Amino acid sequence: MGRKVAIVGIGHSKFGVRNDVNIAELAWESIKQAFESSNLEPKDIQYISVSNVGGWSGEPLPAVVVSEYAGLTGKPLHRVEAACASGSSAVFNAYNAVSSGQADIAMAIGVEKMNESPTPTVVEFIGRAGNYFWEFENFGLTFPGYYALYATAYMSKYGASEEDLCQVAIKNHYYASMNPKAQFQRKIDMPTCMNSRYIAWPLKLFDSSPITDGSAAVILASEDVAKKITDSPVWIHSIGAASGSANLSKRNDFTGLEAAQLAAKMAYKKAGLETENTAKYFDAAEVHDCFTIAEIMAYEDLGFVKRGEGYKLAKEGQTYIGGLIPVNLSGGLKAKGHPIGATGESMVVELTKQLLNKADKGRQATIKNGRAISHNVGGTGHYAYVTILGLDKPKD
């Protein structure tokens, strides 16, 4: 077993359409906050993992540009791409660097400037996040189209409705309205969601996450170093990672994501937790709600409830504060925004704040268990990462 690893610094930019900054300046907003929160400087960082999918932004080598702008040149540097799970992959790399002893202090930086390209270009690029020549070229599948396949299969098998999907959007907009870093800081109601135009039936505009610019940063440190930096570390208890087939026609089930299920089981095993009725372990969760159906499937893939019961959690309001398990108190990808390469780090930043009781007024979970969980999916279950955080130091 490797060394114990703690989060000692976090930073988060404003999400949205950020035409006011270039990609390096956008990343620096988060990097600067992470340095300030940890009282560290660029010279202290020994390894950097930058997550960025790119293609839609002007910089072909964003990691080196970001590193130079932040004064980090000369350090070991990797650029990470795992589609929408790139941010969690960067955290995973930084975690492994510290756990293995390759570095005492490492940094994961996620940044994306998606709005540098027109919407049709971004939609096409995201639609390629699978088996490009078979699915995109032959059948014209878009990213909303992929998740619409899952939504229709889930609704057909379990009886969920479009209104049940909208409950997820309503909740996430509610919490985003209290998050100053969110892209959409406004509440919505059922008629607003239900009357929005279809993107790929049954998914509507308000079932879908937006095109977003943003950044987030996380600094990790070994146990000995963390003790010198902070008296309130948040520990990484475990990270589970898995992947799925590129071609969706090779999958047996369209009511859940096998990669997410495998990643969850791995994370639970490493943390010494059971894999069923897992909501009892956590005070808050950040899950991958690129579309509302994705959040509902996440409830089940993570073992919060049994198969086919996820939509009932949304319908009964059990994922608000005070319910079975508060989910996406940041507003989620749906309303906080989804700058693809930065989403994984953003989840870790949010959960760190939640565990330390530093979330914004109105969206602070009650901390009893001292644990939180993030669920980050790339593509349509092509990649998956599940990360468990805790206030208590992990057991040997």
- Return the C-alpha torsion angle 9, 14, 20, 23, nearest 10: 50
Q: What are phi and psi of 56, to 5 degrees?
A: -95, -10
Contacts 24+ apart (CB under 8 A), 150-153: 150/254, 150/255, 150/293, 150/294, 150/297, 150/380, 151/202, 151/203, 151/291, 151/293, 152/201, 152/202, 153/254, 153/255
Four-residue CA torsion sign, 131, 337, 202, 167: positive
**Per the omega criterion (within 30 degrees of 0), is the bond before 202 cis?**
yes
The amino acid that residue 193 corresponds to is C
Clarify whether 84 is annotated catalytic. Answer: yes
Residue 81 has which token pair? 């791409």
Find where tokens 């390759």 sit. 102
Q: What are phi and psi of 242, to 5 degrees?
A: -155, 170
Q: What are phi and psi of 377, to 5 degrees?
A: -115, 140
Clarify whether 237 is annotated catalytic. Answer: no
User: Three-class SS of residue 47?
Assistant: strand
Q: Which of 12, 84, 173, 382 is catalytic?
A: 84
105-113/47-51 β-pairing:
parallel
DSSP result, 200-262:
ETTEEGGGBPPP-EEEEEEEEEEHHHHHHH-SS-EEEEEEEEEE--SSGGG-S-SSS-HHHHH
Please enumerate in sequence order all residues whose Cβ is within 8 A of that of 105, keeping only pairs 6 or more positions apart, or say none. Answer: 8, 40, 44, 45, 46, 47, 98, 219, 220, 221, 222, 225
Q: Which of 288, 338, 375, 382 is catalytic?
A: 338
Positions annotated as catalytic residues are: 84, 338
